[in-house]
């Protein structure tokens, strides 16, 4: 089924989307603490006060620093004229839609079938209600889901050869971490997209500098190097290598830099091994989350593509390579449980370095899971061979790579 086949059904698709968004909005309360910070940053730009170095007060009796590039504040300037509740509801609705968009293009890339991608999109939106990174992002009023969708559309949407990379550059201008997806474009030999990512990021940042020269100078010459010093990176919510090392009592930039180099090499190897675009972009995202100095639990919105990839690989592999299929299904089941339960929040000492002992497995659950996925992706070429024949994904009742003898693919 192609997009053209779906045109007569767009009314039903939009109706279904409206129902899903309304349901998600109705099931939870979204106070929007981080949205207050974004709006506070935008309002600060309209005054003579410095944006960086001074925490911004919120209505929830918490003052938080503005840690993002100046463009993030500029982006929210139009929203400063709207009532907060309106902005919060719009951001939540758009974020829910972005979950569906992300799921759609990931599954479409893996299967080549829109009839599989649409149900996956609806399912991902509803599953987000119980997945910790998704509902926390919605609750905080964060933009992580939107940035994820920009990257996924940029990397996987068809017919974008002349503009691919620009959306990733836009995402990186809001938060720096998406710059790592340059690695994805380079290793998939789309060097023009890599150049567009860097150029888009640079142009947006340069224009922002012209609009806010003092603020931009303060950020790019000073505060960008102090981001991790502005917050407690040892807090259990920081599910990255940096947080892991600090909770173990291993301080110092040298160890972290060494770990980042190892993770960068592992991520590059995994991308080269999996080859398939959706798999590669998810692998790159996991590597970026681990390498970033700060990856709060609500930054792990990539849990949705991770789980979809596990499911699609399992279905694609069965029954020709049952060992790979079981690994994929098991990885997805473990991931679904971890992202739904978020074990780190059960640690008796979540505000500090964690409780140690067996609690360490719970405290470090997201980054340990991500590391295992990277190692698995880097350790085998079975997944790449699975998708080597491209499309079509097996239709219902059929299976790919049939093996009359029932043998597995070679290891």
Give mean pLDDT, residues 58-83.
Answer: 93
Cα distance between residue 397 and residue 391, in whole Å:
16
Q: Which of 205, 225, 245 is the last residue of a domain?
A: 225
Say if residue 248 is in the same domain as residue 205.
no
Question: Total domain count for the chain?
Answer: 2
- The number of angstroms, rounded, from the C-alpha of 351 to the middle of its chain's C-alpha atoms is 24
Say if residue 327 is in the same domain as residue 386.
yes
Q: Which residue has the higher pLDDT, 231 or 192?
A: 192
pLDDT attached to residue 275: 82
Residue 57, strand partner residues: 63
- The number of angstroms, rounded, from the C-alpha of 317 to the middle of its chain's C-alpha atoms is 25
Render pLDDT for 165-175 as a digit per residue (tens, 0 to 9). 999 999 999 99
Say if residue 169 is in the same domain as residue 257.
no
pLDDT attached to residue 230: 64
pLDDT attached to residue 349: 67
- Percent helix / strand / coil, the chain, rounded to 5: 70, 0, 30
Distance (Å) of CA 70 to CA 211, 260, 318: 10, 26, 48
Say if residue 375 is in the same domain as residue 294.
yes
Query: Where does the pLDDT of residue 156 fall: very low under 50, low under 70, confident under 90, or very high at 90 and above?
Result: very high
pTM: 0.90
Averaged pLDDT of the chain: 87
Domain holding 42, by residue range, is 1-225
Say if residue 196 is in the same domain as residue 264.
no
Neighbours of 127 (CB within 10 A): 20
Say if residue 356 is in the same domain as residue 261.
yes
Q: Which of 174, 200, 225 is the last residue of a domain?
A: 225
Give mean pLDDT, residues 203-222.
Answer: 95
Say if residue 17 is in the same domain as residue 153.
yes
Residue 238, strand partner residues: 296
Within 13 Å and on the Cβ side, how many CA atoms surround 106?
A: 32
Query: Where does the pLDDT of residue 406 fall: very low under 50, low under 70, confident under 90, or very high at 90 and above?
Result: very low
* DSSP structure string for 341-389: H-GGGGSS-TTTT---TTHHHHHTHHHHHHHHHHHHHHH-SHHHHHTTT
Say if residue 179 is in the same domain as residue 261.
no
Q: Which of 165, 195, 225 is the last residue of a domain?
A: 225
Cα distance between residue 175 and residue 168, in whole Å:
10
Say if residue 60 is in the same domain as residue 6.
yes
Render pLDDT for 101-149 as a digit per residue (tens, 0 to 9). 999 999 999 988 888 888 889 899 988 889 999 999 999 999 999 999 9
Q: Decide if 168 contacts 322 (C-beta within 8 A).
A: no
Is the bond leading into 141 cis (omega within 30 degrees of zero)?
no
CA torsion, points 384, 390, 396, 401, in degrees to nearest 10?
Answer: -60
Say if residue 348 is in the same domain as residue 294.
yes
Say if residue 242 is in the same domain as residue 326.
yes
Is the bond leading into 189 cis (omega within 30 degrees of zero)?
no
Say if residue 164 is in the same domain as residue 313.
no
């Amino acid at each position: 089924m192609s997009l053209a086949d779906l045109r007569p059904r767009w009314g039903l698709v939009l109706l279904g989307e409206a129902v899903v968004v309304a349901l998600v909005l109705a099931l939870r309360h979204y106070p929007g603490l981080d949205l207050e910070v974004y709006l506070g940053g935008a309002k600060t730009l309209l005054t003579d006060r410095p944006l960086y170095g001074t925490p911004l007060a919120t209505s929830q009796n918490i003052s938080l620093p503005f840690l993002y590039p100046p463009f993030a504040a500029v982006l929210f300037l139009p929203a400063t004229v709207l009532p907060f509740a309106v902005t919060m509801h719009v951001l939540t609705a758009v974020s829910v839609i972005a979950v569906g968009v992300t799921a759609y293009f990931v599954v479409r890339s893996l299967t080549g079938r829109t009839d599989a991608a649409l149900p996956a999109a609806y399912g991902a939106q509803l599953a987000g209600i119980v997945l910790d990174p998704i509902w926390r992002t919605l609750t905080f009023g964060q933009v992580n889901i939107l940035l994820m969708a920009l990257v996924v559309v940029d990397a996987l949407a068809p017919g974008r050869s002349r503009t691919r990379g620009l959306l990733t550059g836009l995402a990186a201008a809001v938060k720096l971490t998406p710059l790592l997806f340059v690695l994805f474009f380079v290793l998939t030999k789309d060097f023009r997209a890599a150049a567009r990512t860097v150029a888009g990021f640079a142009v947006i940042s340069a224009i922002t500098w012209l609009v806010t020269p003092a603020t931009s100078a303060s950020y790019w010459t000073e505060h960008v190097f102090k981001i991790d010093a502005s917050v407690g990176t040892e807090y259990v919510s920081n599910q990255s290598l940096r947080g892991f090392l600090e909770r173990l009592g291993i301080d110092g930039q040298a160890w972290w830099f060494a770990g980042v180099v190892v993770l960068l090499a592992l991520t590059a190897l995994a991308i080269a091994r999996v080859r398939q675009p959706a798999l590669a972009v998810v692998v790159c995202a996991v590597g970026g989350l681990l390498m970033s100095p700060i990856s709060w639990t609500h930054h792990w919105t990539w849990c949705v593509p991770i789980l979809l990839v596990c499911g699609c690989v399992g279905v694609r592999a069965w029954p020709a390579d049952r060992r790979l299929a079981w690994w994929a299904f098991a990885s997805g089941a473990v991931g679904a449980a971890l992202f739904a339960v978020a074990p780190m929040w059960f640690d008796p000492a979540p505000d500090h370095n964690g409780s140690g002992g067996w609690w360490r497995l719970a405290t470090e659950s997201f980054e340990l899971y991500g590391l295992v996925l990277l190692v698995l992706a880097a350790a085998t070429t079975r997944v790449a061979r699975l998708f080597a024949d491209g499309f079509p994904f097996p239709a219902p009742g059929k299976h790919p790579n049939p093996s009359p003898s029932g043998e597995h693919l070679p290891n």
